Structure 1
Amino acid sequence: MRKVLLLSFGMFALGFDAYVIAGLIPGITDTYHKDASQVGQAVSIFTLFYAISAPLFSSLLAGKPIKKVLLAAMLVFTLANAITALAPNFSIFLLSRAIAGAGAGLFSPLAVAASTQLVPDAKKGRALGLTIGGMSMGTVLGVPIGLYIADFSNWKSAMWLVVILSLIAALGVFKLLPHFPASAPPALKERFKMFLDKRVAITVSITFFASIASLGLYTYLSPLLGELAPGNSLTTFLWAWGLGGLFGSVLVGYLIDYFKKPKTLVTIILSTLTLSVVCIPILIEFPVIKYLPFFIWGAMGWASQAPQQHILLSYQPKQGSTAVALNSSINYLGSSIGATLGGVVLTLQIGSISLVYFAILSMIISLCLQFYSMKSTYTLKESAKSA
């Protein structure tokens, strides 16, 4: 499992980088003299290239040595983050975020595939959980840690930390990871074929709108809290969200085993997530309790993906990896679009609170699709009983 831990560490660096910009927006706006909506597009660009890089490159990389591809992807990711820290202007800054997203999007699915080749069949589930958990841990902890470093020094120091982490991961892959065959991530054509299954299309659409709401809103947490709770520490709210994310990531596996009805669990998670977003402006003035919506938001946001994957695996048991990969790409695509639309909302200068209303609307769409999915499943079961 030590080699799996190495891949998990690489995934941690990816997760750390994915949303660290969200906490560094104030410092970056001062450096490049841009507003929050413009800087927020760095998150949008990173997640967009993350979403499309693996399916775009997977056909080209089929049959290539996995170790070499992983090493190349991590080196590209490392170099891109170094460019981010050194970027002399905003255009190069944005370009570096696109390159970093492409490197991350290529490394992630290959690392997940490789982790299952490093352990016996009995430990494959544990290896997958450890590898994917590395990225969630990096995402959850990256923003508050990055913000703390930026407060202590500057935002570029936080980016140099990402460079150091990813360089260590690259050296580990080069020195310790063995050469072995592993299947390439599913190609773009294979993922699009999944949309022909109506059940899969609805399920990933639910993921899409939930991601627009949750991760899109998170990108602009700094200007939102600046309007709703001026004078409050952004770091504390980020830690509340992050701790909630850790709690949700750990708990969701037990909930899936307990409920044994992933669709019901997804409905509960989405409803609770919507309620938590609604409560943000309502509870923001109350001491201590104001952090509760952020904790629940983080927990439900990170807990939503695992039961969705279970549902997709039940729909496409023979092409489960393709369905799950599609859901992952859609999740990051939703995040990218959420960050982009959030920037548009801020540009319209109608108040950061509008981001909350926008997120609630997106969550309502996601819930409507979820209820439709449950109704369709119930109708099919009833028809089967009648027959």
Structure 2
Amino acid sequence: MTRFKMQSLIMTATAFILGFSEFNIIGVLNDIARQFSVSVATVGYLVTIFALVYAISTPIFTSLVGQRKLLKVLIGLMSIFTIGNLITVMASSYLLLVVSRIMIALVSGVSISLIMTFAIKLAPKEKKAWLIAWVYSGFSIAAVLGMPIGTWVSENFGWRTSFLVITVLSVVITVLLAVLLPGDLKQSNEQNSSLKSQLIIFTDRRILLGVLVVIFNFTGIYVIYTYLRSIFVSTLGLTTALVTPLFMLYGLMTLFSNQLSGRLAARQGLVKIPQIYAVLAVSFLLLPLCLNVTWLSLTILMNMGLSMYLINSPIQLHFLGITEENYPQSTVLAASLHSIFCNVGIAMGSAIGGLLVTNVGLVSVGPGGAVFIVLTFGLVILLNRTNAQMASNGND
């Protein structure tokens, strides 16, 4: 195996362990609720807290990377990530569990941003979309294998053991990162890496529209996704034994989603994606009407998984292409934009989902998610028009 393939594998594995830790909470919501005698909705807000901290801290910490050696920063962050998961394992109260999740969230966003920066700098031009898609696929593999395995471990050995597995794997991955990635890489040759010079990317309309697309895409998805287990068990009346294989099937759909995302990115994906949002919005609106028909409900939910990450590679290449050409001092920050605002969307979606479930019931999450998918549809169309206009002006 060539060194580049090994580097690609360990970068994907890093995304996997970050995703495993983030998603595992969703699979063990009920077990944690029983452990600490709190409601499932209360534990569901751990998703909101994690996402908010992730979104707020990531731009701050990425802006502080400056001209520091990327590998040294990454190893430090992954070490904190490992300690945070160990504290989760040992948490004796719900408050300490919240603290541990905050600790993990503080470093997760910067870590994936650095991994994306390594991916862009190490991959040859023809492999960039391929590698970005595979790094994002690490999160899908976490959904395919990590979350179902975590759910199964939780049901058979306790939810703490599932986080112990994450802790051990993160130690191994951190060591491999130190061995395989170059130690002298920095984000750019620009000497001016002040916070102000990096934040200038937010004056670009194309960046701002892309940010809104990411936010509303994940808001719409997470209104429903946060309560997926509850939909399976409480609404559809499926047995607990079916939850793990259904999560695995859903995770498989998201893996396909990331791989299709890479192919879309190589073929003007942003231009083709509005049709997908149109179909997704209609299916979300129909979800309440289909809850009495199990196979139809599952079809809609699995279609959500297939659509969930299609935006990832096209929008990431959109951000990085603009930055590489116009704002090279902001490379790490640009690499973090997707993960930052994805988590803003996750926080909004999980919080809105929680309000809907508490005040209306699980039947309301489908239409609630549809509202934000319709907004995403409109924003992508506007972004495509803006890109076309900018390209036209550039050619004049």
TM-score of the superposed pair, with normalisation by structure 2: 0.85
Map 1:211-250 → 2, pairs under 5 A: 211-232=218-239, 233-250=242-259
State which of 85, 97, 106 in structure 2 corresponds to 1:81. Answer: 85
Bigger mean CA deviation after superposition, 198-207 or 8-17: 198-207
1:352 corresponding residue in structure 2: 362
1:193 corresponding residue in structure 2: 200
Q: Structure 2: how far apart are the matches of 1:129 and 1:351?
A: 36
Bigger mean CA deviation after superposition, 123-132 or 300-309: 123-132
Q: Does 1:138 align with 2:147?
A: no
- Structure 1, residues 17-40: CA drift from partner, whole Å, max 9, x if none? 121111111101001111122111
On the 8 A contact 1:150/1:158 being kept in 2, the answer is yes
Q: Does 1:12 align with 2:11?
A: no
Bigger mean CA deviation after superposition, 228-237 or 369-378: 369-378
Bigger mean CA deviation after superposition, 267-276 or 157-166: 267-276
Q: Structure 2: how far apart are the matches of 1:237 and 1:171?
A: 33
1:298 corresponding residue in structure 2: 305
Map 1:374-385 → 2, pairs under 5 A: 374=384, 380=389
State which of 349, 367, 371 in structure 2 corresponds to 1:361. Answer: 371
Q: Structure 1: how far apart are the matches of 2:100 and 2:69?
A: 26
- Structure 1, residues 197-236: CA drift from partner, whole Å, max 9, x if none? 3333223212211111113421122233344212343334
On the 8 A contact 2:114/2:335 being kept in 1, the answer is no
- Structure 1, residues 312-351: CA drift from partner, whole Å, max 9, x if none? 456554338454532331111111221122223334x321
On the 8 A contact 1:52/1:105 being kept in 2, the answer is no
Q: Structure 2: how far apart are the matches of 1:126 and 1:351?
A: 41
What is the deviation of 1:81? 0.8
State which of 26, 29, 35 in structure 1 corresponds to 2:33. Answer: 29
1:318 corresponding residue in structure 2: 326
Q: Which runs of 5+ in 2 are unaligned?
A: none
2:350 corresponding residue in structure 1: 339
Aligned residues: 380
Q: Which runs of 5+ in 1 are unaligned?
A: none
1:170 corresponding residue in structure 2: 174
1:141–1:281: structure 2 CA closer, same or farther, 3 Å change rule?
farther
Q: Structure 2: how far apart are the matches of 1:187 and 1:12?
A: 31
Q: Structure 1: how far apart are the matches of 2:57 and 2:295?
A: 41
1:265–1:105: structure 2 CA closer, same or farther, 3 Å change rule?
same
1:66–1:373: structure 2 CA closer, same or farther, 3 Å change rule?
closer
Map 1:30-45 → 2, pairs under 5 A: 30-45=34-49
Query: Matched residue of 2:28: which SS?
Result: helix
1:51 corresponding residue in structure 2: 55
Q: Structure 1: how far apart are the matches of 2:163 and 2:82?
A: 10
Q: Which runs of 4+ in 1 moved over 6 A?
A: none
On the 8 A contact 1:49/1:105 being kept in 2, the answer is no
- Structure 1, residues 73-105: CA drift from partner, whole Å, max 9, x if none? 111111111111211111110110011111211
What is the deviation of 1:256? 4.4
State the identity %. Answer: 25
TM-score of the superposed pair, with normalisation by structure 1: 0.87
1:328 corresponding residue in structure 2: 339
Q: Structure 1: how far apart are the matches of 2:341 and 2:45?
A: 18
- Structure 1, residues 90-145: CA drift from partner, whole Å, max 9, x if none? 11101100111112112111122224444556655544443333233224433222
Q: Structure 2: how far apart are the matches of 1:121 and 1:310?
A: 12
Bigger mean CA deviation after superposition, 208-217 or 223-232: 223-232
CA RMSD of aligned residues (A): 2.9
- Structure 1, residues 153-206: CA drift from partner, whole Å, max 9, x if none? 22112111111111111222344444222217x886566533423333223212
Q: Structure 2: how far apart are the matches of 1:58 and 1:278?
A: 38
1:271 corresponding residue in structure 2: 278
Bigger mean CA deviation after superposition, 335-344 or 113-122: 113-122
Q: Does 1:64 align with 2:68?
A: yes
Query: Matched residue of 1:358: which SS?
Result: helix
1:278–1:107: structure 2 CA closer, same or farther, 3 Å change rule?
same
Q: Structure 2: how far apart are the matches of 1:190 and 1:221?
A: 42
Query: Matched residue of 1:61: which SS?
Result: coil
2:290 corresponding residue in structure 1: 283
Q: Does 1:93 align with 2:103?
A: no
| AA matched with 2:350 | A
| AA matched with 1:248 | S
